[in-house]
């Protein structure tokens, strides 16, 4: 132990004893102070069980909503739980309002809001001109000054940023205001995440007039640059130092915040100290660093959880408390305080006493000031102010008409105060409860002990991702660790920003992958035939590796894709016009596909009741809009399933596909197994798609492309993810700011060129009349920066090709009754750069309502109520993604029951499905083929063929299965009894196909396998994300199916298939050739299964008529010729044919009767679980 460390430890121990004694005195003095009613109410909120939940629920549910009817419904729900700490008259008013509110909301709600705002109104002040002055005067006192922070609507665009700056400027210019706070995020519109240097410049220019005005006031107004999120740490410091480096501001003393819950704070404090020392030496003013515990811990955890990053803050309160003292111990030294003054912000009396005693011992109290939150512990604040000679009160200001914008602030303050880990939970009872005092003293001393133990080696930052390093690690093959999603690149880290900056510098002139494309060119039928023959010949060797063997190659592919992240991002930016924030997650998705399908490949080796047989050849035809993730997903899925693959990238993204293929080859995928080709989309393309050697074709593209492929080859085994016309519904109960944020991101990410993008916004009831919603939407959309993808400031990149046809019309021409809320503008000569547009007044059934445009244009529709909104949402040919923003559990439940789409999103954006967490795929014309979801547990099942084997499942059969099994036994018994003499019996026996005892045993095994598959996989909505802050549920819903038994089929197989349909809850109907045995007639009728007897010709004619009507139809053939169905339907994509052999596997046989739906629901409110979505699924 060094002498310096020993001295510090001894000093800290002495400081601790003195600080504890000081706190005892402060507590005693505070107990003698008069307690104002506001403080008493706050104490009640924090003490009483249910007090916090009621208060937060009231603030969020009754004060926030614009629609008084919504507020009244929420008040009615809250009224029965009215807490006892409220005065009797308020309790009575709340309960009466709960009864009368729904009937007369216009009368009850304003009164209730005014009355109960008093519970939390003392935490903020009225920002209106008439009342602000008196409020400031009343709050100030001897030695007490205010640090004003103007709250406002979420800054989604430049208009609100300018309004917030103007309001803060007005505060600076007031004679009665000497301190103000403002955040970087409140001074400008949201910026592109990878434009760090440009954002610093932009924010400095925006804030410079404010700082200049502060410097000109006499005395100068102190501006504190605040910060809430870790992502803004580097940005805030860079803006702060750049501002104060300006010559006209060198003499201005200003402040910046550091958050002690970040291990990074000590390094930031050291850097600020060095910079400020240089500034002071050159004649500049010192700065103040305001040290807080941390402003937004719950939301930091949310972001980390969703993005797969380590949480930036410490994991425990003790670690944070130790770091708080570490920062004070570092800063409170004579050689440092002349350059960096210290603002000690908080309510923990032990921390305040520690700082005061330590500063006194070191003779630096002149460089120390204290700050507390207005209204949180007023008696303690008065005592501390007397002791230290002054106090600054952090005072949010908000206009009463905008009180709802204070919701997030108030919720954080109240929840922090109520937490048993937080000092505030004890502050009102320390004088009377010795056990509480002892608890807080123990915590204080424990944090000091941790600090002393870590003096020589303070904890390192928790976020250390560095894309400049090439090392990777696979979670999927780590013992004891299951599948984990790959984290995206974190732009808050300087090393990653440097990595992205270099990519952007290269991307403007990059030709990456061009050489591979040239070598992959196929220009003649002979060359194409050679590729096809070679791929088919390589298939058996790849298949022979088995699922487990192929999985090992895919795991290596995941690691190689990580190593190639920079190259893949570069080629996407350069060729496909994707901005880095859109391109980087694609690489993560590709890595996820490799690891996820590796796990699924291994599972193929052991499926109960069936044996998987790889097919020879799969052709992958991906789109240009996701030029890495989708070709990777399709290719890796086919490889996992044991097939050779021909990858034909989309023309505008050929280089992206080539770089992807090279990465997979480098990982060990044989070149003869994975063939990259560049082929024209004319005759050679047609020849590729229609070649009979192609066993599967995986398409992602327009529904019209699926139609074209099937017209070339009607029997093509096509699995396609196709078009979407997706809408987000916003009800009056929604959080307007969050809804607008998610709508804008969903509509205009990648220029709206996503099949999952929001094309429609449906506003329900009063939401359609909300001026705030429309103003925020216009502000956010109009502030988006459009530019080339290689420019870091671009938030919306170029179209893949010049706008033409229906997209050009959507960008330039309005339909009847429509108007531009935001008019799109062409920004370049060739028509690839367009500013986003928003059209209002879109009518139900109009062209814009029903047409997919694939570009940066959003249409607004209105609905009288949620039921109508859902009808509008469903009234399209597609069913890919759908969203709802609502804070009403009944509305969520109704929507989840009735909306028709494969991927549902609640209170979040509707794009960016994550492998495993939100398996992706649609309903209706958004999917062609069996409908299993990419990135989901069953996707590989359709990529090969299956043969049967005996099931080993053990389960109770259930009533329906027992009834059908009994009927099958009756058929077998009748056949034996009748003998072969009677012609009728002979006919029936032929239809039975020989119901032998072994077949009946197999049927019983199959029905037990169904029961297991239903219980374990399909019969319950399953949580698949494993996140506390977001529920991600995969569920299987029944779909109608027609079962066809031809002349050559068997009765046992028919019963087996029908039983699977009934187990799935499907509306099953049966068509049989010949006579259906009487026991099955009876059993089917009892179970509500309609049946008919018809010839093959008649049945095919009916199927052909359905195809001609473009009707959706699922068929399960129990034997027979699938080619005949393909011929009569001409391959219509709406007709889905399941024609594989009937097996005993419940996992397989239930799937034709089900369609998958992935539901993603935000499960927190400002970072804290709120229970809104509990029990919905």
pLDDT tens-digit series, residues 157-179:
999 999 999 999 999 999 999 99
Concatenating the DSSP letter of every residue in 203-232 gives: HHHHHHHHHHHHHHSSSPPEEEEE---GGG
607 in a structural domain: yes
Q: C-alpha distances in angstroms, 269 versus 312, 363, 1138?
A: 17, 20, 65
Residues 760 and 698 in one domain: no
Pick the catalytic residue from 721, 852, 988, 1144.
Answer: 721
Residues 415 and 309 in one domain: yes
Q: For residue 661, is it within any domain?
A: yes
Banded model confidence at residue 481, pLDDT cuts 50, 70, 90: very low
Task: Write the pLDDT tens digit of every residue in 216-253.
Answer: 999 999 999 998 889 999 999 999 999 999 999 999 99
Q: What is the pLDDT of residue 474?
A: 42
Would you state the pLDDT for residue 956? 94
**Phi and psi, residue 395, nearest 5°:** -130, 100
- Cα 736-738-743 angle, rounded to 5 deg: 90
How much is the pLDDT for 421? 75
- What is the rounded distance in angstroms from the CA atom of residue 159 to the CA atom of residue 97? 37
User: Is 480 a residue whose pLDDT tops 70?
Assistant: no
Instruction: Identify whether 6 is part of a domain.
Output: no
- pLDDT exceeds 90 at position 350: yes
Cβ proximity of 70 and 32 under 8 Å: no
Tell me: do 329 and 406 sit in the same domain.
yes
List, edge to edge, every strand of the sheet that includes 1113-1117: 1091-1093, 1068-1072, 1041-1045, 1113-1117, 1135-1138
Q: What is the CATH number of the domain that holds 757?
A: 3.40.309.10
SS3 content of the chain, % helix, strand, coil (to 5): 50, 15, 35
- The yes-or-no verdict on residue 288 having pLDDT over 90 is yes
* Inter-axis angle of helices 37-47 and 378-388, nearest 10: 120
Q: Which of 755, 891, 1149, 1156 is catalytic?
A: 755
- Considering the domain architecture, whether residues 188 and 337 belong to the same structural domain is answered as yes
Q: Which of 401, 419, 437 is the last residue of a domain?
A: 419
1010 lies in some domain: yes
Q: What band does 417 get if pLDDT is binned at 50, 70 and 90?
A: low
More confident residue, 1067 or 404: 1067
Count the neighbouring beta carbons within 10 Å of the beta carbon of residue 998.
11
Q: Do 737 and 819 lie in a common domain?
A: yes
Does 403 share its domain with 503? Answer: no
Considering only 590-599, 662-671, 747-756, 1045-1054, which range has the smallest mean pLDDT?
Answer: 1045-1054
- Give the per-residue pLDDT at 976: 54
Q: Are 267 and 460 in contact (CB under 8 A)?
A: no
Q: How many domains does the chain have?
A: 4
Same domain, 269 and 359: yes
- Paired with 730 in beta bridges are 763, 885
Range of 686's domain? Answer: 498-721
Q: Residues 766, 770, 776, CA angle at the centre, nearest 5°?
A: 145
> Is residue 478 scored above 80 in pLDDT?
no
818 and 694 housed in the same domain: no
Count of all residues that appear for the chain in the document:
1177
CATH classification at residue 968? 3.40.605.10
Instruction: Categorize the per-residue pLDDT at 887 as very low, low, confident or very high, splitting at 50, 70 and 90.
Output: very high
- Asked whether residue 680 falls in the same domain as residue 744, the answer is no
CA gap 422, 415 in Å, rounded: 9
* Under 8 Å between Cβ of 1089 and 1068: yes
Indicate if 564 belongs to the active site.
no
Q: Which of 257, 240, 238, 258 is nearest to 249 (CA)?
A: 240
Confidence of residue 833 (pLDDT cuts 50, 70, 90): very high
Active site annotation includes 721: yes
pLDDT in tens, 539-569: 999 999 999 999 999 999 999 999 999 999 9
Please indicate, yes or no, if residue 929 is contained in any of the structural domains. Answer: no
Residue 985: per-residue pLDDT = 45
Of 378, 395, 419, the residue at which a domain comes to its end is 419
Residues 6+ apart with CB under 8 A from 493: 463, 464, 465, 466
Maximum alpha-carbon separation in the chain: 117
Is position 40 within any domain?
A: no
Residue 927, classed as helix, strand or coil, is: strand
Question: What whole-number distance in Å separates Cα of residue 241 and Cα of residue 340?
Answer: 13
Regarding whether 681 and 762 lie in a shared domain, the answer is: no
Q: Helix/strand/coil (H, E, C) string of 961-1016?
A: HHHHHHHHHHHHHHHHHHCCCCHHHHHHHHHHCCCCHHHHHHHHHHHHHHHHHHHH
The reply to whether 507 and 593 lie within a common domain is yes
The candidate with the shortest Cα–Cα distance to 244, out of 225, 267, 263, 269, is 225
**Alpha carbons 294 and 298: distance in angstroms, whole number:** 10
- Span 619-625, mean pLDDT? 97
Give the mean model confidence (pLDDT) for residues 413-417: 69
Determine contact, residues 85/72, Cβ cutoff 8 Å: no
* pLDDT for residue 3 is more than 60: no
Q: What is the pLDDT of residues 710-765, one digit of tens each?
A: 999 999 999 999 999 999 999 999 999 999 999 999 999 999 999 999 999 999 99
Q: pLDDT band for 45, please (50, 70, 90 cuts).
A: low
Q: Which phi and psi (to 5°) does residue 618 adopt? A: -125, 130
The beta strand positions in 482-559, using DSSP E, are none
Where a domain ends, among 692, 721, 750?
A: 721
Share of the chain above pLDDT 90, in %: 80
- Residue 39, domain member (yes or no): no
Whether the Cβ atoms of residue 289 and residue 268 lie closer than 8 Å to each other: no
Q: Report the C-alpha gap between 641 and 630 in whole angstroms.
A: 17
Give whole-number Cα distances, 78 to 73, 522, 645, in Å: 9, 69, 59
Is 1046 a residue whose pLDDT tops 50? yes
For every residue of 538-601, DSSP letters joined together read HHHHHHTTHHHHHHHHHHHHHHHHHHTHHHHHHHHHHHH---HHHHHHHHHHHHHHHHHHHHHH
C-alpha–C-alpha distance, residues 812 and 827, integer Å = 13
Q: Do 190 and 299 fall into the same domain?
A: yes
pLDDT band at 997 (very low <50, low <70, confident <90, very high): confident
**702-718 residues labelled b (16+ CB within 10 A) or e (exposed):** bbebbbbbbeebbbbbb
- Mean pLDDT calculated for residue range 1013-1030: 95
pLDDT reported for residue 977: 57
Tell whether the model's pLDDT for residue 418 goes beyond 70.
no
Q: Is residue 187 part of a domain?
A: yes
Query: Average pLDDT for residues 385-394, to the nearest whole number?
Result: 93
- Determine the pLDDT at residue 995: 61
Which CATH number goes with the domain that contains 228?
Answer: 3.20.20.220
């Amino acid at each position: 132990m060094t002498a310096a460390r020993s001295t510090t430890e001894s000093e800290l121990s002495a400081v601790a004893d003195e600080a504890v004694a000081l706190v005892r005195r402060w507590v005693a003095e505070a107990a003698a102070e008069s307690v104002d009613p506001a403080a008493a109410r706050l104490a009640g909120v924090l003490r009483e069980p249910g007090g916090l939940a009621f208060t937060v629920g009231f603030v969020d549910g009754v004060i926030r909503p614009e629609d008084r009817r919504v507020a009244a419904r929420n008040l009615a729900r809250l009224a029965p739980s009215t807490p006892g700490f409220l005065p009797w008259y308020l309790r009575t008013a709340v309960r009466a309002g709960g009864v009368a509110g729904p009937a007369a909301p216009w009368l009850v709600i304003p009164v209730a809001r005014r009355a109960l705002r008093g519970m939390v109104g003392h935490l903020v002040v009225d920002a209106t001109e008439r009342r602000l002055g008196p409020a400031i005067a009343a709050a100030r006192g001897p030695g007490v000054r205010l640090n004003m922070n103007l709250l406002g609507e979420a800054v989604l665009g430049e208009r609100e940023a300018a309004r917030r700056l103007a309001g803060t400027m007005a505060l600076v210019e007031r004679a009665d205001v000497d301190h103000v706070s403002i955040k970087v995020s409140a001074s400008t519109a949201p910026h592109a995440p990878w434009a760090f240097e440009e954002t610093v410049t932009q924010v400095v220019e925006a804030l410079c007039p404010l700082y200049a005005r502060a410097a000109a006031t006499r005395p100068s107004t102190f501006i504190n640059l605040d910060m809430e999120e870790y992502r803004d740490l580097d940005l805030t410091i860079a803006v702060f130092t750049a501002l104060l480096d300006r010559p006209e501001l060198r003499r201005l003393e200003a402040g910046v915040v550091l958050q002690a819950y970040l291990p990074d704070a000590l390094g930031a404090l050291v850097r600020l100290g060095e910079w400020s020392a240089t500034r002071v030496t050159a004649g500049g003013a010192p700065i103040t660093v305001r040290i807080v515990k941390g402003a937004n811990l719950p939301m930091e955890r949310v972001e980390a959880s969703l993005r797969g990053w380590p949480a930036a803050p410490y994991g425990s309160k003790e670690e944070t408390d130790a770091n708080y003292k570490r920062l004070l111990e570092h800063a409170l030294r004579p050689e440092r305080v002349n350059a960096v003054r210290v603002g000690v912000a908080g309510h923990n009396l032990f921390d305040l006493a520690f700082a005061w005693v330590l500063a006194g011992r070191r003779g630096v109290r002149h460089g120390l000031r204290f700050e507390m939150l207005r209204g949180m512990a007023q008696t303690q604040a008065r005592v501390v102010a007397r002791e230290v000679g002054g106090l600054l009160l952090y005072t949010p200001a908000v206009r009463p008409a905008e009180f709802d914008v204070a919701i997030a602030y108030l919720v954080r303050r109240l929840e922090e105060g109520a937490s048993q880990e937080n000092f505030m939970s004890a502050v009102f009872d320390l004088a009377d409860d010795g056990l509480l005092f002892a608890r807080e003293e123990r915590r204080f001393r424990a944090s000091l002990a941790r600090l002393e133990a870590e003096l020589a080696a303070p904890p390192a930052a928790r976020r250390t991702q560095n894309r400049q390093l090439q090392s990777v690690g696979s979670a999927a093959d780590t013992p004891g660790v299951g599948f984990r999603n790959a984290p995206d690149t974190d732009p808050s880290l300087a090393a990653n920003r440097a990595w992205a900056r270099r990519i952007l510098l290269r991307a403007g002139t990059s030709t990456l992958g061009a050489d591979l494309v040239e070598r992959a060119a196929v220009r003649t039928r002979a060359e194409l035939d050679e590729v096809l023959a070679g791929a088919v010949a390589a298939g058996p060797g790849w298949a022979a590796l088995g699922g487990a063997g192929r999985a090992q190659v895919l795991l290596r592919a995941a690691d190689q894709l990580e190593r190639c992240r920079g190259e893949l991002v570069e080629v996407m930016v350069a060729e496909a016009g994707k901005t880095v924030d859109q391109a980087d997650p694609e690489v993560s998705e590709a890595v996820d596909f490799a690891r996820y399908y590796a796990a699924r490949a291994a599972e193929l080796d052991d499926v109960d009741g069936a044996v998987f047989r790889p097919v020879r050849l799969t052709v992958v035809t991906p789109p240009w809009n996701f030029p890495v993730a989708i070709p990777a997903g399709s290719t890796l899925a086919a490889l996992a399933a044991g097939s050779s693959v021909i990858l034909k990238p989309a023309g505008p993204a050929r280089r992206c596909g080539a770089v992807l293929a090279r990465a997979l080859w480098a990982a060990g995928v044989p070149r003869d197994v994975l063939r990259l080709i560049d082929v024209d989309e004319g005759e050679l393309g047609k020849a590729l798609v229609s070649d009979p050697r192609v066993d599967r074709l995986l398409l992602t593209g327009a529904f019209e492309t699926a139609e074209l492929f099937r017209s070339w080859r009607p029997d093509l085994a096509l699995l396609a993810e196709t078009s979407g016309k997706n809408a987000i519904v916003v009800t009056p109960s929604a959080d307007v700011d969050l809804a607008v944020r998610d709508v804008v991101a969903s509509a205009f990410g990648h220029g709206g060129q996503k099949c999952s993008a929001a094309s429609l916004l449906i506003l329900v009831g009063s939401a359609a009349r909300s001026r705030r919603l429309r103003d925020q939407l216009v502000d956010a959309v109009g502030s988006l920066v459009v530019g080339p993808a290689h420019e870091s400031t671009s938030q919306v990149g170029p179209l893949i090709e010049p706008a033409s046809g229906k997209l050009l019309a959507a960008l330039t021409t309005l339909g009847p009754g429509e108007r531009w809320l935001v008019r799109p503008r062409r920004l370049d000569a060739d028509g690839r750069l367009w500013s986003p547009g928003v059209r209002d007044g879109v009518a139900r059934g109009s062209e814009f309502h029903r047409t997919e445009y694939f570009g940066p244009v959003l249409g607004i529709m209105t609905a009288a109520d949620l039921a109508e909104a859902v009808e509008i949402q469903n009234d399209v040919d597609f069913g890919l993604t759908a969203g709802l923003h609502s804070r009403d559990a009944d509305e969520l439940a109704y929507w989840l029951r009735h909306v028709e789409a494969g991927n549902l999103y609640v209170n979040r954006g509707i794009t960016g499905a994550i492998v495993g967490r939100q398996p992706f795929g649609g309903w209706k014309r958004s999917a062609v083929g069996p409908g299993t979801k990419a990135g989901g547990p069953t996707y590989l099942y359709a990529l090969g063929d299956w043969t049967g084997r005996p099931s080993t499942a053990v389960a109770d059969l259930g009533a329906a299965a027992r009834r059908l099994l009994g009927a099958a036994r009756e058929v077998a018994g009748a056949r034996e009894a009748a003998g072969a003499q009677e012609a009728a019996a002979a006919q029936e026996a032929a239809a039975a196909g020989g119901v032998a005892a072994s077949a009946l045993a197999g049927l019983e095994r199959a029905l037990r396998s169904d029961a297991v598959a239903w219980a374990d996989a399909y019969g319950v909505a399953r949580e698949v994300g494993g996140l506390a802050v977001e529920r991600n549920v995969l569920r299987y819903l029944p779909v109608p199916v027609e079962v066809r038994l031809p002349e050559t089929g068997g009765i046992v197989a028919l019963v087996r298939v029908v039983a699977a349909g009934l187990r799935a809850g499907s509306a099953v109907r049966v068509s049989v050739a010949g006579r259906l045995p009487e026991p099955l007639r009876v059993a089917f009728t009892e179970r509500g299964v309609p049946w008919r007897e018809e010839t093959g010709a008649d049945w095919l004619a009916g199927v052909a008529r359905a195809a001609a009507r473009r009707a959706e139809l699922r068929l399960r053939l129990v034997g027979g010729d699938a080619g005949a169905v393909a011929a009569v339907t001409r391959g219509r994509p709406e007709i889905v044919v399941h024609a594989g052999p009937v097996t005993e596997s419940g996992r397989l046989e239930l799937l034709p009767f089900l369609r998958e739906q992935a539901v993603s629901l935000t499960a927190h409110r400002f970072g804290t679980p709120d229970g809104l979505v509990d029990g919905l699924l």
